[in-house]
Amino acid sequence: LQLLRQGLREMAISRTTHPKHNSELVVAAARVASSVPNSELQSILSTVAVEINGVYVLESLNDPCDEF
């Protein structure tokens, strides 16, 4: 989870420093996701991935938004 949080923070920083690729929604989502409690982050991850020995593996390549 620490690596995921670090990646989300880096993505938020990267998107804000490259205005051409800046998406306010992506930046906001990355910032929020990088600061939620571990239990909440794990709950969110479990909707799209399976944890195997501490590594999260994507369950499907389908768009998870299609399920809602």
* pLDDT tens-digit map of 34-58: 788 888 888 888 888 888 898 888 8
Banded model confidence at residue 9, pLDDT cuts 50, 70, 90: confident
The band of 2, judged by pLDDT with boundaries at 50, 70 and 90, is: confident
Q: Which residues of 17-47 are buried (b: 16+ CB within 10 A; e: fewer)?
A: eeeeeeeeeebeebbebbeeeeeebeeebee
pTM: 0.54
- pLDDT score for 36: 86
Question: What is residue 7's predicted lDDT score, i.e. its pLDDT?
Answer: 80
The DSSP-derived string for 20-51 is: GG--HHHHHHHHHHTTS-HHHHHHHHTTTEEE
